[in-house]
Each structure stands twice: as structure tokens, then as C-alpha cells.
Structure 1
């Protein structure tokens, strides 16, 4: 029996094994087209003066980072781009290109690949970026790896983890806890069984969104350090605090569960604070700045001098939940 089982609605047509490598590539480039894609390597346009290149890569493995019975191919492609472009944005840079490496079993339906590429194309277009190349191969598992490239313009320094300073304000752009709540709903009810009013939480997990350009806006407005909420709010802020040698205090009222998270908590008999503090995969931008919150950001806490105990506190107390995503 094949290790990867695709939903029935994707089956019935040709598979990647039947049409071959070059036809699969044609299917991908048809859905996420770029004039730069199609040669041995992509030659990117000359960067603007006084700019630097930014690069990152991330993988998605079927059964660990996404489930075929929960997510559509389009959503998987969208998620792959956002989680990589969020890392570019977190440096204060602009995403300009992406590369896709895909390992897929030979019985993978072509319709899955077409939908995956369509989702990738939709997200890169939102950022005025392009899918400029990649690689495909057969394998026993379904694995995507996206490499994202960005451009950091101007003379301001990049937004690294080690540049938070006491006296700064901690600011955030995006929702916190939605993705983890969506995952919990899927694990309990499956996609079809989730109450309709809670579907925004499911969508936040299967296809997270991040408004393009907010990292650049924050950098231009004076932010100094930034990360994205990928592994969990406390985990990610703790890494920033340790790298900078500071302590971060979050005000609970600024991140408290909204009506949707509270409703999900009631439906699952779970504490929504666990999703907020330890959930991750929202790709919310988290930054520090001396000034007012940049456009699109909100203040959620303060940076103070380090202490020997918790690097991150909530209302100056140890967080109720401090775990997060771990790869191993």
C-alpha cells in the first residue's frame, strides 16, 4: 500500500509517475508562471543600490506539517510560501522570489501538483514576487521545501534577534493563537465537522496569511529586532530576549482570547491561553521599537533589563504555558 493516501476527489486522473518529470514541471510553471523560470538557474534582476540579499528555507512534510484530509493542495502551497516569506519579512526585507523542491510518490495525482502550484502562485503574486525555479523527484513521502529570497534596501540594519533594548515597546502584527486553535479543532472534528462559525480558525491553520510589507514598514519606522510567531509566542520571544540579553513582559490584556478563541475553547473544553502562549504557526510579526507602534502593529508589552529567572513574563509572572513547536 502507498504510504501517502490522497483524497478521492484528487484521484481518477493521471499521476506524476504517468506523465513524467518534464510534464510535471510544465504543470507547476503553468500555475505559477515567471519569465525567470525554465533555465538551469534563475538570474534575478539587478538589486537596487545599497541593498543586500536575504535568504531562508523551510520544509513541510506530509503528516507532520500538513494533513491531506485537512488541507487542500492550494492551502498547502499558500502555507509553504507564507511561512518562508514571514522569515524574510521578519528581517525587515521584501520577498522577491521563491524556489520549490518537491519530493512526491509516483502515484501522486497531477491535480494535487496543479493545486499546490496554484496556491504558491497566488501567494507569491500577493507579494509581487515570483516562483523562479526548483526541483522535483520521486520519493516515498510527500515533502515540500521552499527557499525564499528577499531584498533588504537602504542603510538601516536588518531586524535581528539580538537588537532588542530595555525601554523598548514590544509590538505585534497579526493574530495570535488562531492557527493552534484551528489545529485543535481539526484534530477533534475533522475538516467537515468543525462548526461553521469557527472556520476562520481552521483557515488560519491550513492557509495562514501575512500582510505583505509590514516588516519593511516596521524597519523604516525604527524597529530594531523582529521575529515571527512560528514555534509559539513564549518560545519565539524567549529566543529574542536571550539573544538580546533582555527580559520581555507581555501584558495579558493585549493578547487576551477574542470571541472566536473563547468559543473554540468552550467547544473543545480547552484553555485558549494555551493556543495563544504556546501555539505558533500564526507567523505574526513580533518586534521591538522605541517609538510608537508602526502602522498595522499594536503594543503588547515592554522590554526590560534581564533577570535570572524567566526571559519572558506575562503580567510580570511566569507564563501559564511556555512550550511550543519542536522539530525533534
Structure 2
């Protein structure tokens, strides 16, 4: 795969070494408009972001070139959007409103400025989509292209929705898309024609977290909540472990869109496997006391069961023999 600055056409471009750290930062911030929640934005020693009730939800994540993204698969703008989206989804999963993002970028000295410009453009586009902005960050030289994002969120007077609140009898529901990113990755990895699969390819390159759905869930009294970053079964397992309960999923309640069916037919796989175990869609999944408390836009897919004995932390899919809570792990073999 291509490294930043190694493309034959990129050698005539200005690089970050030539323009310098502060010019890269200046290009990232020039003309950007901060929301009212930003009291002090980029340009000082630290940002100051308003928190209406004195509490801040905070999350951080890191992306490494070749492990979490590839420049021969995705444009810098798409990668920038993905970096913000996966962090913003964590804030939404607490029932909070995104209020700011701090971005640190490490890159080789010969990285074209067009790459960093694209990354910054994508980050700003997604930050605005999440209702926030990039409020600060840093740029350093590193052997690989690395992006680290810290997301900040405002709970707006609501209690945070934790993984540990699910209770026996609660309904399990999700908002957003499931399996699309995994389908796109499968198409990218396959040595075959990718035409006709643009929707799933785009979903892998740029996830679409349902930011507002997290706030809706909190306002509706969701008992637990998380984002689907590692896979539906894996992330529901985190709720089951934290709440000391079991989970029962009815696959008949899971929607399998035409786009997934088409890609699955081409790849020769069951699309439900992508929906159950595929990560990086950054949908939200949580639990609710009753059907009347499930917000519009959420889909019920199961129920919380007793977690006594061997059932504690267990996620069961009705009618299917699943080999454990399979999904993404950061240190699996490559």
C-alpha cells in the first residue's frame, strides 16, 4: 500500500517538512468557524469549551496507517471524517452532545501538504456534522501517518447512559447501520470487480454515526448504551458483562438491506454475519424498559435475559450457533 509522499505524482508537491508545523496548523484553522460552545479555540496554549452542567464526557482513539485506514483505499478527506466519526460516536453513546475535538497528527516529513489539508477538511466536515468543531491539536513527525482524536461532550444536564444499567426484561434496540462497513471491507479485500457496491464501500470509508439518536435515547430513559465499533455481538457483550445480564437477539428482527444482500451474494457469504460481527459502523445499541420508551428511529432486536451462572455476559442469537462474541480486537493476528 502507498505511504504518504511515495506516490510518483506527489514528489513535486509541497511537503510538511517544507512548509513547517505551524503552516500545517494554520492551514487547518484558517477560515474555520467555531460554535458558541467554544470559548477559546485553536491558537492558544489550550482550548476552553463550555460545559453547561459542569461535567464533560471525554473519549480518545487513535488510527494508524495500514492498520485502521489505507490511502490507496480512502481519500484523506474520508480518513479525516472517519477519525472524527468514531470518536464522536463514543460521545453519543453516553447520551451527550459533541462539543469539541482535539486532534494530534503524526506524519513522515515527506507527507504532501495535500494529504494533511485533506485530513483537516474531512475532520472539520465531520465535526460540524456532529454539532461541534476541532478546537485544538498538535502536529509532529513520525515514521507512520497516525491520527489521535480526543472528543469532548456536553451531557446538558442529563445523567450519562452507562453500559452497566441494563436490567432483565429490558428491550434491546439499535439506531444507525449494521454490517455496512464490514461489507465494504470485504469488497475492498476481494480480488475482483468492485463496481455496483459503492454504498458499502462508502460506508467503510466514512461511517455515519446517528449522533442525535444517543441524545434521544438518554432523554427517553435508556438503561444502557454503547456504540457498535467492534461488532454487534461483541459490543452487546460489553453491556452484558457490565450489567451482569444475558442478551437474546432475534435475527428475524434485523434488517438486511438490499445493498448488503448484493455484496454478500458477490462475496459468497451470509450478510447476517456482517450485521452480527462487523465493526466500524458506529451505530448505537442500548436497552430500554419498555416498547413505549424506545425512540423513533430505533429498532428493537431482542431482550435482556437473566445473567445468573453461565448466562452472565452471554449474548445468544436465536436459532444460530455463534462461536462466542466474535468481532474486532485491536491485537488480533494480521
Q: Normalising TM by the smaller chain, what interval?
A: over 0.9
Partner of 1:17: 17
Match of 1:172 among 174, 177, 182: 174
Does structure 2 retain, via aligned residues, the 8 Å contact 1:33–1:131?
Answer: no
Could you say which residue in structure 2 is the equivalent of 1:96?
99
Change (3 A) 1:8 1:276: farther
1:305 aligns with 2:306: yes
Per the alignment, residue 291 of structure 1 pairs with 290
Segments of 4+ in structure 1 off by > 2 A? Answer: 2-12, 30-35, 316-322
Compute the displacement of 1:128 (Å).
2.4
5+ unaligned residues in a row in structure 2: which ranges?
Answer: 35-39
Q: What is the aligned partner in structure 2 of residue 207 from structure 1?
A: 206
Give the deviation of 1:126 after TM superposition. Answer: 1.5
Q: CA shift at 1:28, angstroms?
A: 1.2
Aligned counterpart for 1:37 among listed residues 33, 36, 42? 42
Residue matched to 1:135: 138
Describe the SS at the equivalent of 2:190. helix
Offset at 1:3? 5.6
Secondary structure at the counterpart of residue 126 of structure 2: helix
Q: Give the SS at the match of 2:104.
A: strand
For 1:266 and 1:31, the matched residues in 2 are separated by 46
SS at structure 2 position matched to 1:95: strand
SS at match of 2:30: helix
Report if the CA contact (8 A) 1:166-1:303 is conserved.
yes
Distance 1:222 1:120, change over 3 A: same
Q: Say if 1:105 and 1:141, in contact at 8 Å, map to a contact too.
A: yes
Q: Aligned in 2, Cα 1:96/1:10: closer, same or farther, shift over 3 Å?
A: farther
RMSD of aligned residue pairs (Cα, Å): 1.9
Distance 1:287 1:52, change over 3 A: same
Give the secondary structure class of the aligned counterpart of 1:144. strand
Larger CA deviation: 317-326 vs 21-30: 317-326
Residue 31 of structure 1 and its aligned partner are, at CA, apart by 6.8
Aligned ranges for residues 116-127 of structure 1 at < 5 Å? Answer: 116-127=119-130
Bigger mean CA deviation after superposition, 313-322 or 72-81: 313-322
Q: TM-score with structure 1 length normalisation?
A: 0.92
Alignment pair present for 1:253 and 2:252: yes
Count of matched residue pairs: 321
Report how far residue 212 of structure 1 moved: 2.7
Would the aligned equivalents of 1:10 and 1:112 in 2 still touch at CA under 8 Å?
Answer: no
- Residue 11 of structure 1: how far off its partner (Å): 5.1
Structure 1 position 9, deviation (Å): 5.9
